[in-house]
Each structure stands twice: as structure tokens, then as C-alpha cells.
Amino acid sequence: MRIKNITIENIGIIEDMSIDVNKPLMLFYGDIRQGKTTILNSVQLCAGGTIPNGILKDGAKEGFIELEVTNGRIRREFYLSKENTLKPRAIDAIIDNHKLSQKEVTALFNPFLLDQDFFKKKNSGDKAKFLLEIFGVDTSFLDSQKKDKEQKAKEIRAAIKAFGEIDTTEVPKSNIEELRGFEKECRERLNKKYQENGAKNKKAQLDYDEKLEIYKEEVRKWESLQVSRKHALDKAENILQELAVLGYKPSEGCPVRQFVFDLPTCEIDHHIPQPVKPTLPDPMPDQTELIQIQEKISEQGAQEVLYNNYLERLEKQEQKDVKKKALSMLTEEIKSINAEKAELLQTISGSISGLEFNESGDFTYLNEETGQKTTSDRLSDSQQMELSNKLSSLYPDGLQIALIDRGESMGKSVFGLVDEAKENDRNILVTIVGDKPAEVPEDIGVFVVQNGGLK
């Protein structure tokens, strides 16, 4: 399939341009920023390339590119929205009266022919991904699984690291509970003894109080009797004095006289001993045993703290071991995924001479000069060009068009490309910074691009 005509309107610096592609080799000469590269970019955009900012000509509201091919057309349009944002319209492609999707249109183009540095511009990861797409190998599911598991493994490793080193040296369990039992029993015995001593003291006090009351009562009686005796003495003395006044002198046997004379000699005494106040002992019994137990409890309390810390460390070690086990399982699962991916990639290793994939999805390419394998991130320019040519040959026949920008930097005459175009039955479009040559072979089309137009 060949391109017959390229029409460009309001793209870049080009306002309106139509190019008949009727020669194997088409050369576009001119100074820089005249619109030469825009011609090549327009073809690439029809293949579904990324839309660059400012693609429309200054002041234009819309533009398009149309490729007329031998059995149909491919048209792509762009416009500015109300928000002044560049938007693409759906691609309009009809080949053999069949409407194509953007994906089907893209498949018509060989990316290696549209951009000589197509493969070189990719980083090593994108190179590997592109190769897998070419050979129809989809490892996305395995890659997604591996990514998830590697993320989990990373998190588990961080968690394991956070545990640090754990000292699991055994610490004896304290007997603090047993001592607390002894303390309780000792307190109960002391309390019982205290109650008994208190009861004894109380009884002794009650006995003393009772004897003291009896003693006081006897003393009160004795004091009352003494008062009565004194009154009797006074009364007898008064009687005798009254009798004396009357001139009466009692006889020796007179009872009154005898009472008066006898009463002073009648002493009243008591012989009730005063009770001795008892000395009451302290009811609180000796607490030496309790103090000793409490001292041991204090010692064992520190041991209990050490033991509880030991149990906490054991628990952390168990948690750490669980995570280590989970990490080990994840590592094995990742290895299994790698092995499965390696087996899948092995099916395409060797599809191109010197190309081999490893289980990580990266590839190496054999350096034919040294005989050593080169990793994807260390490929030389010549190796990348060699690999690009091999990969380009895998593409099915579609639109036979090749694009070369800055042909003057090829290091050889661009006229030699005409043989390549004829040999591969394709058209080659080349831009060259410089003046148009005076003489040009008949099978080469030559144009001068100036200010977005052709001369």
C-alpha cells in the first residue's frame, strides 16, 4: 500500500500544502523552521502520534492532515474548543471501503520507518516493553502480581526492620503471687491476734472499772459515816452543855454521859484497798514476719517487671517470626512468578538473532564484535540501529513510507536512498537543511520548502 498524496492545512507553519508522492525518493530542502519537519510530523500524526501543543497554525481554529493512499484515505482533524483547548476529532480512515479504528490505522505504519531513532529514543524499560508487544507476549498480569507482592514484601521488610534485635534471653518468673498469698495469711493472723489482744485489754479495763466503782462506793459510805459521827459528837456536846447550865451533872452510869465520853474514842475507819490500774499492752502483735514478706514482695515486684518485659519481647519475636514467614512465602511466590515469566519470555528469546530476555523482563543483545552480551541500557548506537532494522523487518506490509529528518547528517549522499526505496518498494521522504542541488536524478522528487509553502 502506497501514499499517493499528502494534504496539510493549518498545521504548524503550513497553511495549505498538497504533495503528490510520485517518486521513490522525495527530498525537501530549505532553511530551518520553514516547515520541512512539519511535513514528516504530519504523516506521523496520522499514525496516531501524540498531539503536540501549538500544532495549529497561529490564528487558525482548525486544521487537518489527509493521506490519500492507493485504496482509500486517512484523515485526521484538530480544532480549538470553546475553552481554547486543542482537541482531535475521531480519525477518519477508509481502506477498501472499510472504516478503520485508530488502532487499525496505527498498525498500517512501521514506526521504525517513520522515525529512524524510534527505538533509540526509548529508555531501557520502554524498549523491553515494546519488544514484548511486537512478539505478542503479555506479561502485564504477571507484572501486576509481582509488583503487588514486591510492595507487600517491601512493607514487611520495613516492619521486620522496625522490630530490630530482640533479646529473648529467658527470665525466671517471679513468685510474687505466692508471696502475696503469704502476706494475706499473715495479715489475717495479725488481725485475729489484734482482735484477741483487744478483747483481753477490754476485759481487764472493765474489771478495773468495776472494782474502782466498788471502791468509790465504799469510800462514799465511809465519808458519810464520818459526817454522821461528827454531827453526833456535836449534838452530845450540846446536850452536856445544856445539862451543865441546868445544874445537872450526869452520874457515872448515865448513858448520855457515857456516850459523850465514849464517842470521841469511837473512830470510824475503813480497810478497802484501792484497785491498781492495769497496764494494758499494745494490742498490735509483732509485725516482723509481715515486714519481711513485704520486703520480698518488693524484690519480686522488680522481678515481675523484668518477667513481663520478657513476655512482651517473646510476643514481639513471635510477631517478627510470623512476618519473616510471610516474607519467605512472598519471596517464593515472586520467584515462581519470575520463573513463569522467564518461561514465557523464553518463547521469544532467539526470535531475533542475538536477542535474549531474562526473568525480570529485561533483555540483552549480543555484540557480534566482542561476542559479549550487552544489557539494554548499554547498547551502542550501531547495535540499536542493527536491532531496529531487524525489528522493522518483522512488521507486516502496510503503508510503505519511510521518513528521515535532517538527511544532511547521514554522512553519505541522500541520493543513495533511491536504491533502498526501489528495493523495498516504498517511498522515502527526507528533509535536508540546505540548498537544492543543481542536478537531480529523474527518479528523485525535489522540493524547496519556504515559509510553509513549496517552491
pLDDT in tens, 108-162: 999 999 998 899 999 988 998 888 888 888 888 998 999 999 999 999 999 999 9
Q: Which of these ranges, 66-75, 90-99, 225-234, has the smallest mean pLDDT?
A: 225-234
Question: What pLDDT sits at residue 89?
Answer: 92
pLDDT in tens, 435-447: 999 889 999 999 9
Mean of pLDDT over the chain: 88
Mean pLDDT, residues 170-197 taken together: 90
For the entire predicted model, the pTM comes to 0.61
Phi, psi at 286, each rounded to 5°: -60, 125
Joined grid coordinates for residue 289? 514476719
Joined grid coordinates for residue 296? 520480698
Fold entry, domain 3-110+395-454: Rossmann fold (3.40.50)
**Extended strands (E) in 116-185:** none
Mean pLDDT, residues 162-185 taken together: 90
Question: What pLDDT sits at residue 344?
Answer: 86
Question: What pLDDT sits at residue 175?
Answer: 87
Question: What pLDDT sits at residue 184?
Answer: 93
Instruction: Report the alpha-carbon distance of residue 231 to residue 108 in Å, rounded.
Output: 157
Domain residue extents for the chain: 3-110+395-454, 176-285
Instruction: Report the alpha-carbon distance of residue 2 to residue 304 in Å, rounded.
Output: 90
Question: What pLDDT sits at residue 38?
Answer: 95
Instruction: Report the alpha-carbon distance of residue 72 to residue 96 in Å, rounded.
Output: 6
**Element (DSSP H or E) covering residue 14:** strand 14-20
pLDDT in tens, 243-293: 778 877 766 666 665 655 555 545 545 566 788 888 888 888 888 998 998
Mean pLDDT, residues 296-306 taken together: 88
How many residues are there in the chain? 455
Tell whether the model's pLDDT for residue 197 goes beyond 80.
yes
Question: What pLDDT sits at residue 14?
Answer: 97
